[in-house]
Structure 1
Amino acid sequence: MDSYAASLNVGNALPSGTISTMRSYFKAAALAVPLALTAVAAGAAPLVTPMQQAVAQAASADEAIAAFYRGRDFAPIWMGEGAEHRRAAFLWALDTAPDHGLPVGRYDPDTIRAEFAAARTAADRGALEVEMTRRFLRYAQDVSSGIVDPRRVDPTIKVTVPKHDWLEQITAFAEGDPYAFVRSLWPTTPAYTRLLREKLRLRGIQDAGGWGPPVSVGGLSLGDSGPAVVELRNRLIRMGYLRRSAVASFDAALESAVREFQIDHGLTPDGTVGEATLRALNVPLEDRMAQIVVGLERQRWMNKPLEPRHILVNLAEQHAYVVDDGKVTFDTVVVVGADTPDRRTPEFSDTMTHMVINPYWHVPRSIAINEYLPALRRGGAQHLEVYSRTGRVNRANVNFSQYTASNFPFSLKQAPGPRNALGRVKFMFPNQWNIYLHDTPSRNLFARDVRTFSHGCVRVARPLALAYHLLAPQTETPKADFDSVLAAGRERRVNLEDPIGVHLVYWSAWVTPMGRANYRGDPYGRDAKLLSALRAAGVELAGGRS
């Protein structure tokens, strides 16, 4: 395939003076070429061939496609001399579309082959020529930017997918190596490539019979034996966590395999098969493949250059990473929004510009009226300062029982200190949802396997270490500089000399550079919605459950 070169000589030469005549005519007539245009004086060369006329008429409905064919005087790219490589490259791409989790029925390569065989008249060939270009551009959009609109899947997915210029795309395809151009449409990130490989690996396991029977009983640990241990052993062997053996007892090798499985699935690696581990072990192979298909779509949404230094917050994993030039240089577990409609952390990208040390907490109004107003009525919430439009008020002079959620006129703040809800530092990437990363005095939640407890912001388990790491490029003494400001006890903004991209994503399946497939749950149900949308678009997940 790599040896295929593009053929640039397509179509026939036109009579002298025809090009300018065609362009001015088609612009004036919006590309609607009447049949009368081909009527010329006896013996004169026709101004437009029937094929050119058919192409112009078929292309007139779309400006980008019309501009492309107008620029090449309506010469075809899919048929005629030199077009074989383009057709072959595109049909190869469509034949491999299922590998990418794309809806092959949307393009239907078998129908395309039949249409080429059936097209006989100039009108049929011209219409098929333009339809092929439309299909190619649809495929290019799907494989490079995604099949579905993320904002229609779930309103909390605020991702802006990359868009490409259709005229530039079809021109580049027509003028270059068609196979190389098709491959250039695929996301080139290592994350996408690894997911593709894992999908093919699972397909091979599925074709060989899958993972075998599920494990019927939990509560298994070192020293146990019996049928359930054999089921566990056999399933872990098929999953690739254990070498083949006939040992029927829960030995050290099996315990180690269980730990590796638990690490890859975000579970406490205690080496025992409890309820959570049993549930993860028995997830059908087809469901894991579905997670990968969803992951491929999400990677297409992110198919754009990311900043050399950026922060990736994986909401499904509840983990944050700092990435420098493609390598993870810092990571920490995090707590994200609770699974309620008003608290789920949205997915979006923005830019971190500064951090605030010893921050005040400006209590969001929704929290103030829903959670703290009842406490204020009882004389509680003493850790909060109350403000009116004119300044701080003495709460002893306020009868809070007279206020409701609709007429509460005050704002609430919490001063810096050890009990401050934002902890010692917050990391700001100003956005319309008022989401940011911050410290917290509530440390116990970081030990949980699933960490969805916040009001929507992202609580960081290692906030000071993150601050030092982010400040390191702009000072030789990041820790000392930060700690001196912290010790002063007063709120202070510290700007980042080089702003950092922040990407809040929701990846429940990914593969490490070492080839270890990782899976997490679907805490907000977004994967289920996305999978439903992909299936509605024609994506198929063939095979049985095992």
Structure 2
Amino acid sequence: MRDHSTGRRGFEGVLMAVAATFLTVSATSAIAQTSPKSASDLAIDAAVPVPQPVDLPPPSIGDFKPESVAVPATPPAAAKTESSTEAAKTDTPAKTDSAAAPSAAPAPTAAAPEAAPAATATAPVAEPAKEPAKQQATKDQAAEPQKAASNVPAADQGVADKLRETIATKASKYFDRKAERAAVEKFYEARDYAPVWTNAGALTSAGKGVIARLKDAASDGLDPTDYPVPDFAAATTPDALAEAELRLTESMMDYARQAQSGRMHWSQVSADIQYPEHPIDPVEVLANVTTAKDASAALDSYNPPHKLYQELKKKLAELRGEGDNPAAKIADGETLKYVPARKKQAAVTMDDSRVPQLRAKLGVTANADSTTYDADVADAVRKFQRSADLKPTGVLDDRTVKAMNTPKRDRTIDTILVNMERWRWLPRQLGAPAIGNAYVILNIPDYTLKLMHNGAPVWTTRVVVGKPGKHATPLLTETMKYITVNPTWNVPPSIINNEYLPALAQDPTVLDRMGLKLERNRDGTVHISQPPGEANALGRIRFNFPNKFLVYQHDTPDKNLFGRDERAFSHGCMRVQNPDQYAAALLNITMPEKDYTPAKIRSMYGRTEVDLKFPTPIPVNITYQTAFVDDHGKLELRKDIYGRDAAMLALLRNDKGKNLEAVVAHAQPSYARAKMPPGVNVAGDYTGSTQSSGFNFFERLFGGPPAPPAPEYRRQQRFTH
């Protein structure tokens, strides 16, 4: 038989404990209500609301009437009052609850039974009514500053509304580049979509400046038709003004991008070109142009700042008759002609006051002040007619005069245009700021190399460059990190596969007779090298600027080629005429305290490689300038030996309207495991062996011991790199 007394006693103990707790809490509440609260108590009350005690009789059936369904409208009202009070007195949050109590007092009696259970339950029951009110108040507070900051004039509000709608739904119609579209969206959103190019329908100074720059795009070698300017005068409605606003922003962005990076991407011209990318920052463009005092100058600043570019721009203006000293126009007049002398008839000439001006325009220096239309003038007119696709009669007629007075679109102008375009590919900062903006610039068609320091050339030399075709010297910008004295020549894969392996198939002893070492790498590729020495194909010095084309500058044992006017004979690398002087000049810029001289460099010649590392690398810029202005202000033109000008002109003329800025991926040649000709002995054949040096071809060229060697090659028995 069970004893239930123990369980009953335990249950009674629990009831007594609960009752004691209830009395303690009640006493504490009473004391809290009668005694003043400290600051910490007030903070706690604000953080954890305590329900107000309600002394009401138990609810009866009569309290539950149909009209009580309207009661829930009361709490939101109270919550709203509480929120407004809380916002007005944020420094005393404890007063919020007390302020809410009077608002609940006038509530109908029928609402009291509803409040009693809520008060006697737990505090979180009341929270759902408070929290939405607080969130709504926060939203209202966040929205108020944005609304207050809006400065859209009433006259522009219609345009702003249309801009908001268009940007939200059709932004990609104007800006197909994601970064530019996002920048435009944020720009106009920050302005409350107020237009920037117009004010009350009239063009602003910024709008006028941008339009002026776009219309003058031809002066920078660009095409104004690529940047259409909307007709703001015809835009008389908010819809039309919003459309014109976005069209001008679109043209401005296109101009800035192409002025800075070019109308075409260099990869479309050739696979052997690689310059660092320097795209515009759309956010910066919008901020810069729209806030500048001179919007035209701000937009113009995206064109190359280089001196040689600016000089080409001046020459372009002169050729078009738009320079500081524009070519004078030939006035209309009677037809002038020259009839040479015959057996029974003397030469027939004509006199005209326009002839001296004609002589000056056509470059006839003999008898510069003569007004006689003689044989010299007629020959010059005939030459001009040929260049202008006119019948070469030598007669100055109305058609010839008109052609002379029309801006020239001849080969010289085209050459200048493509050279200005190539300047856009180059980095804006050519040199290293830490060492006086020092840099090397090599012009392939001019076969010259210059070392620049503090804005002036400090050393110049002749160079031999790559042959046209597959051996063309690439265009690139890299940094020269060190010089190697007594370099080892590591023959590049292209030479091995295209020249040496076929030669080995004919004569297995050819490499031994040439002093070359043949071995197979662990990955199966063939490696051919030539040790340092006087007969080395790289000469005594190699100038290293690691690049994906595996080209560099170096000495050569074949000095006779420097005497030729055209010097495109190498496999891609650049041979320097006086490498000891070049090395000393470079080292004195990077390490002036060492006091290097050509003699000191030559004293290092031997059979052991010596690396001279630069504390600060020097940028090397390989360029292709078929048109440039010399130190005397004369326009110099060079032969387009690689056909770069022709390729660019074809793109500009034939691909009109296409995306000329797209990067074209070019596959690089892959030299897999080469098949060794039969009968050839391979020293150190590492096929299937672990006895390899561990360095692959790229490590041998540009890094890791042994000293980074770079590629080159020669043909036949004489090493011609």
Q: TM-score scaled to structure 2, two decimals?
A: 0.54
Distance 2:639 2:654 in 1: 22
Residue equivalent to 2:320: 203
CA 1:181–1:409 in structure 2 vs 1: closer, same or farther (change >3 Å)?
A: closer
- What is the 5 A alignment of 1:72-91? 72-80=191-199, 83-91=203-211
The CA deviation string for residues 262-314 of structure 1, in whole angstroms up to 9 with x for no partner, is xxxxxxxxxxxxxxxxxxxxxx9811111111111112222512210000011
| Counterpart pick for 1:441 among 557, 573, 583 | 557
d(CA) in 2 for partners of 1:350, 1:100: 27
- What is the CA distance between 1:245 and its match in structure 2? 4.6
Amino acid at match of 1:70: E
Pick from 20, 41, 57 the counterpart of residue 165 of structure 2: 57
Give the number of the structure with larger relative contact order, counting CA–CA contacts within 8 Å between residues 6 or more apart: 1
Q: Say yes or no: does 1:384 pair with 2:504.
A: no
Q: Which amino acid aligns with 1:376?
A: L
Residues 453 and 408 (structure 1), Cα distance of their counterparts in 2 relative to 1, 3 Å cut: farther
1:43-442 equivalence runs, <5 A:
49-60=157-168, 61=171, 62-80=181-199, 83-109=203-229, 112-113=230-231, 116-177=232-293, 178-204=295-321, 208=329, 238=361, 245=368, 286-302=410-426, 304-307=428-431, 308-340=437-469, 342-377=470-505, 378=507, 379-381=509-511, 382-389=513-520, 410-442=526-558
Task: Tell whether the 8 Å contact from 1:313 to 1:319 is kept in structure 2 after alignment.
Answer: yes
Question: Deviation at 1:484?
Answer: 2.2
Q: Measured at CA, do residues 285 and 516 of structure 1 come closer, stay the same or move farther in structure 2, by a change above 3 Å?
A: farther
For the aligned residue pairs, the C-alpha RMSD in angstroms reads: 3.2
* In structure 2, distance between residues paired with 1:421 and 1:241: 50
In 2, the alpha carbon distance for the partners of 1:51 and 1:18 equals 22
CA shift, 1:466, in A, is 0.5
- Does the CA-based 8 Å contact 1:104-1:538 persist in structure 2? no
Residue matched to 2:80: none
**8 A contact 1:414–1:420 mirrored in 2:** yes
Query: CA–CA distance in 2 between the matches of 1:190 and 1:390?
Result: 48
How far the C-alpha of 1:477 sits from its partner, in A, is 3.4
Question: What amino acid maps onto 1:490 in structure 2?
Answer: T
2:218 alignment partner, SS class: helix
Measure, in 2, the Cα distance between the counterparts of 1:243 and 1:160. Answer: 50
Match in the other structure for 1:467:
583
Deviation per CA, 1:459-489, whole angstroms, max 9, x where unpaired? Answer: 1112111111111231213334322211x33
Shift of 1:130: 1.6
Identity percentage of aligned residues: 30
- Kindly indicate whether the alpha-carbon contact (under 8 Å) linking 1:322 and 1:329 is maintained by their aligned counterparts in 2: yes
Q: What residue ranges of structure 1 are gaps of 5+ in the alignment?
A: 1-14, 24-44, 210-233, 248-283, 392-406, 540-546
Deviations 1:60-81 (A, max 9, x none): 4321110111122211101115
Q: Measure the CA separation in 1 of the matches of 2:429 and 2:491.
A: 36
Cα shift at 1:153: 2.2
1:94-142 CA deviation, whole Å, 9 max, x = no partner? 2211121211111234xx23xx122233222222212211111111112
1:425-463 deviation digits (Å, cap 9, x = unpaired): 010001111110011111222222221111111111121
CA spacing shift, 1:468–1:534, aligned 2, 3 Å: same
Distance in 2, matches of 1:239 and 1:320, equals: 34
Give the superposition deviation at 1:49: 4.2
Relative to structure 1, is the Cα distance of residues 448 and 236 closer, same or farther in structure 2, using a 3 angstrom cutoff? Answer: farther
Tell me by how many angstroms 1:503 deviates.
Answer: 0.6
| Shift in Å, 1:84 | 2.2
Instruction: Kindly indicate whether the alpha-carbon contact (under 8 Å) linking 1:337 and 1:458 is maintained by their aligned counterparts in 2.
Output: yes
SS in 2 for 1:185: coil
Change (3 A) 1:390 1:538: closer
CA shift, 1:414, in A, is 0.9
Partner of 1:256: none
Structure 1: distance between partners of 2:273 and 2:358? 36
Instruction: State which of 590, 593, 618 in structure 2 corresponds to 1:500.
Output: 618
Q: Is the counterpart of residue 457 in structure 1 residue 573 in structure 2? A: yes
Instruction: Check whether the contact 1:384–1:412 (CA below 8 A) recurs between aligned residues.
Output: no
The number of equivalent residue pairs is 422
Task: Report the alpha carbon displacement of residue 408 of structure 1 after superposing the two structures with TM.
Answer: 8.4
CA contact (8 A) 1:144 1:303 kept: no
Counterparts of 1:236 and 1:458, CA distance in 2 = 44
CA 1:74 to 1:366, structure 2 compared with 1: closer, same or farther past 3 Å? same
- Structure 1 residue 516 displacement after superposition: 1.0
Offset, 1:241: 9.4
Counterpart amino acid of 1:65?
V
> What residue number does 1:275 align with?
none
CA contact (8 A) 1:147 1:537 kept: no
Alpha-carbon distance between aligned partners in 2 of 1:135 and 1:194, rounded to the nearest angstrom: 26
Distance 2:359 2:534 in 1: 46
Deviations 1:176-215 (A, max 9, x none): 2123313323322211111111111112288757xxxxxx
Code of the aligned partner of 1:431? N
Does the CA contact (< 8 Å) of 1:369 and 1:408 recur in 2? no
C-alpha distance in structure 1 between counterparts of 2:502 and 2:302, whole Å: 56
Change (3 A) 1:320 1:193: same
Partner of 1:522: 640
Cα shift at 1:359: 0.7
Deviation at 1:364, TM superposition (A): 1.3
Report how far residue 19 of structure 1 moved. Answer: 6.1
Q: How has the CA–CA distance of structure 1 residues 88 and 496 changed in structure 2, closer, same or farther, with 3 Å as cutoff?
A: same
Contact 1:313 1:503 in 2 (8 A): yes
Normalising by structure 1, what TM-score? 0.71
CA distance in 2: counterparts of 1:16 and 1:371, whole angstroms: 74
Computing the radius of gyration from Cα coordinates, the structure with the larger value is 2
SS of match in other structure, 1:58: helix
Instruction: State the partner residue of 2:389.
Output: none
Query: Is residue 521–residue 527 contact of structure 2 (8 Å, CA) maintained in 1?
Result: no
SS in 2 for 1:154: coil
Distance 1:243 1:460 in 2: 42
Q: C-alpha separation between the residues in 1 aligned to 2:226 and 2:521? A: 62
Change (3 A) 1:118 1:504: same
CA apart distance, 1:376:
3.2
